[in-house]
Amino acid sequence: MIDFHTHILPGIDDGSRNVQMTEAMLCEEKRQGVVIVIATPHFYADRMSVDGFLERRAEALEKTGEIRRQSDTALPEIIAGAEVYYFQGMGQADAIPRLCIGETNTLLLEMPFEQWTETVLKDVRDLISKQHLRIVLAHIERYIGFQKNMDIWNRVMDLPIHKQINAGSFSRKDGFFMKDRKKKFCMDFLRKNPDLMIGSDCHNTDSRRPNLEAGRAAIAAALGEGALAKIDAETRVVLDL
Ligand SMILES: [Fe+2]
């Protein structure tokens, strides 16, 4: 089991506050059966440089490696990535491939929380065709409410991209957005797009804790174990595993 989207590295963004919290989150991931955690701290181009971000991420990774080395049990493996927030012109920005996950050309892209425009569409298209990146849109369920005009949404979804949904959005009891409407959207979307990824998008040990277990149970109950097998297979493909 792979948690594709987490803010588990200590002290780098609004996720885990320190090594103690990171350790507790890793233990919880392990308890739920997770063997690989993709660490995806927020990257905002208007607030930080790629070099500065990668330096801070390396430090946080080093601290996390120390937790794993000192642990009595085998904690999940960590692969470093980023959750890169959209900015205008990113389709042409040379440094973007450096933010891909591990050694892959897979980029976790956080889209704008507003009506998407032709410019947004063009940038995503450029990331794929000019920068040759494999794009995974982070938590797609969180943008739909901002799309009054669905035209660009539909055209983005038609691009050769991959989509990620937060595990909590499938389970009403354990979600960041706990509304039935959101759960229904996610289940319907998964029914039509079985090749997507899920992640906990965990930030801490309470309000946004690792929750793949509950999300997967909700998916299995609604769509069967086969749906989880497809998610797992697709996840391995985008990670070159
Ligand atoms: Fe996130």
Q: How far apart are CA 138 and CA 118, in angstroms?
A: 19
| Ligand 1 center–CA 201 separation, angstroms | 5
> What are 132's two structure tokens?
């040759």
- Find the DSSP H helices in 32-144: 50-70, 118-129
For 2-238, CATH number?
3.20.20.140
Instruction: State how far Cα 206 lies from the chain centre.
Output: 19
Q: What is the pLDDT of residues 172-213, one digit of tens each?
A: 654 454 567 888 899 999 999 999 999 999 999 999 999 999
Q: What is the pLDDT of residues 229-239, one digit of tens each?
A: 999 999 999 99
DSSP 124-147: HHHHHHTS-PEEEES-GGGTGGG-
| Ligand 1 center–CA 4 separation, angstroms | 10
Q: What is the pLDDT of residues 36-84, one digit of tens each?
A: 999 999 999 999 999 999 999 999 999 999 999 999 999 999 999 999 9
| Ligand 1 center–CA 129 separation, angstroms | 25
| Ligand 1 center–CA 89 separation, angstroms | 22
Torsion of CA 143, 3, 236, 31, to 10 degrees: -150
DSSP 205-220: SSTT---HHHHHHHHH
| Ligand 1 center–CA 83 separation, angstroms | 6
| Ligand 1 center–CA 152 separation, angstroms | 23
CA angle, corner 199, sides to 138 and 92, nearest 5?
25
